[in-house]
Amino acid sequence: MRFSGLRVLTEGLTGNRGWTAHWRDPEPKPAYDIVIIGGGGHGLATAYYLAREHGLRNIAVLEKGYLGGGNVGRNTTIVRANYGLPGNSEFYSHSLTLWEGLEQELNFNVMHSQRGVINLFHSDGQRDAYARRGNAMVNQGDDAILLDRDGVRRLAPYLDFDNGRFPVYGGLYHPRGGTARHDAVAWGYARGADQRGVDLIQNCEVTGIDIQNGKVTGVQTSRGAIRAGKVGIVVAGRSSQVAAMAGMRLPIESHVLQAFVTEGLKPVIDTVVTFGMGHFYISQSDKGGLVFGGDIDMYASYAARGNLPAVEHVMEAGMALMPMIGKARVLRSWGGIMDMSPDGSPVIDRTGIEGLYLNCGWCYGGFKAVPGSGHCFAHLLATGRPHAAAAQFRLDRFRTGAGIMDEEGTGAQHNLH
């Protein structure tokens, strides 16, 4: 089934009876060439690119719940390529390029909206840091414009520019950044993978990883044993638990991150705005809700819900930046489980077990990474070699100390440094 304007019109005139399911609901087969554990954005994108770019078909994605029920459907949807360090810079640039052709490629409306991202700065020192970051972005081939205070005022006049503690000095503007509809990305990749023969198996929890003589041979699941030539672990907040099934202890902590949405309002915020000093960021959804969030809850947890101190912190930061937000009523808040790595950068790598591969450590920034991560992980799984854009995401950097990528000089948890 392909989507097109003509198809929408025809279906609208004929009672919408011609639409079919986006993907099959297959029974698991006894064996696959490749098993992907985790049907989030990264797992589904990996399966899609394995089929599309490498011609592999005998693949299963095993998801313990439903497709897109994890963080890929819980995030605040920001897509950007404004990273500064070598290693990260080229990877997120690669991912943004894939985003830009994604809707045509998947024939699916993921509502990718390049409305621009403004990172505010509030001191001379922070301006210097953002100027450096902007130069790195431009050198990488991406776009960055350093705005002074008036430049920010033209784009976001509703900010409190003269806040006593955090006066706005200016901002780093990234016009190609923006947002996308989070679960549509999962659905688009799922549909594309299914069309190419990948089995997407929901309600199938992996409970064990079978290893013989240092080589992976398959997985145990709530729907029986499945043999596999290769296994990819792509389970975000559950990475440590699933890796432990293979006897591995990962340098990953799982933390809660919360997000919030208000009642629908008329359009007022037409870019993404981030307030790093207060740890707050905001955009407005196409339905009109103000979508915003802040820092992680700062304790390890597998509960996908948050606590009140973090709620208070986010609301305070929002009020400091844009007092008008106090008039909006918050409708909902929710949490997701973040796979926090020590240096804030991810892992896309082999493990010490032959045939077992790992994709994790996305912290609170893995939504924008979905296309790039799937593309690079598929390359690694299919060829055995790291993709050039993800060459520095090695697991052993935490043991050797070589190649650490500490994006902000603070590690992954700003408040603890």
Ligand X SMILES: Cc1cc2nc3c(=O)[nH]c(=O)nc-3n(C[C@H](O)[C@H](O)[C@H](O)COP(=O)(O)OP(=O)(O)OC[C@H]3O[C@@H](n4cnc5c(N)ncnc54)[C@H](O)[C@@H]3O)c2cc1C
Cβ 130 to ligand X shortest distance, Å: 19
User: Which C-beta is closer to ligand X: that of 169 or that of 387?
Assistant: 387
Minimal distance in Å, beta carbon 392 to ligand X?
18
Nearest residue to the partner ligand X, using Cβ: 40
Cβ–Cβ < 8 Å for 34, 53: no
As given in the structure block, the two tokens for residue 363 are: 């912290």
Cβ pair 134, 176 in contact under 8 A: no
Q: By CB under 6 A, name the one of 78, 96, 144, 314 that touches ligand X.
A: 78
- The answer to whether residue 72 forms part of the interface with ligand X (CB under 6 A) is yes
Percentage helix, strand, coil for the chain under 3-state DSSP, each rounded to 5: 30, 25, 40
φ, ψ at 39 (rounded to 5°): -100, 45
CB atoms within 10 A of CB 139: 11
Q: Which amino acid is at 108?
A: F
Site string for ligand X, 299-338 (x = CB under 6 A): -------------------------------------x--
Specify the residue, 368 or 387, whose C-beta has the smaller distance to ligand X: 368
Is residue 205 near ligand X by the rule CB under 6 A?
yes
Q: Pick the closer one to ligand X by CB: 218 or 237.
A: 237
**Smaller CB separation from ligand X, 246 or 328:** 246
Q: Work out how close the CB of 176 gets to ligand X at its nearest, in angstroms, rounded to a whole number.
A: 14
Contact (CB, 8 A) for 269 and 284 = yes
* CA 291 vs CA 13, 78, 79, 276: distances in Å: 35, 10, 14, 16
**Can you tell me the distance from the alpha carbon of 285 to that of 44, in angstroms, rounded to the nearest whole number?**
24
The verdict on 70 binding ligand X (CB under 6 A) reads yes
User: Of 182, 245, 252, 183, which is closest to residue 216 (Cα–Cα)?
Assistant: 245
Interacting span for ligand X (CB under 6 A) from 64-72, 147-155, 170-178, 262-270? 64-72
Judged by CB, which is closer to ligand X: 144, or 257?
A: 257
Handedness of CA 69, 372, 256, 318 (dihedral sign): negative
Among 357, 406, 407, 386, residue whose Cα is nearest residue 94: 386
* Total chain residues near ligand X (CB under 6 A): 39
Q: How many CB atoms lie within 10 A of CB 404?
A: 16
Question: Shortest CA distance to 322 belongs to which of 312, 311, 314, 334?
Answer: 314
62 binds ligand X (CB under 6 A): yes
Contacts of 227 by beta carbon, 8 Å cutoff, 6+ apart: 30, 31, 32, 210, 217, 218
How far is CA 169 from each of CA 120, 124, 268, 354, rounded to the nearest angstrom?
Answer: 8, 8, 22, 52
365 lines the binding site for ligand X (CB under 6 A): yes
Smallest separation (angstroms) from ligand X to the CB of 213: 24
Question: Does 64 sit near ligand X (CB under 6 A)?
Answer: yes
Tell me if 259 contacts ligand X by CB under 6 A. Answer: yes
Contact between 206 and ligand X per CB under 6 A: yes
User: Which residue in the set 98, 110, 136, 242 belongs to the binding site for ligand X (CB under 6 A)?
Assistant: 242
Per-residue contact string for residues 264-293; x = within reach of ligand X by CB under 6 A: -----------------------------x
CB of 165 to ligand X, least distance (A): 25
Span 152-191, contacts to ligand X by CB under 6 A: none
Residues that bind ligand X (CB under 6 A): 37-43, 62-65, 69-72, 74-78, 205-206, 234-238, 242, 257-259, 293, 336, 362, 364-368
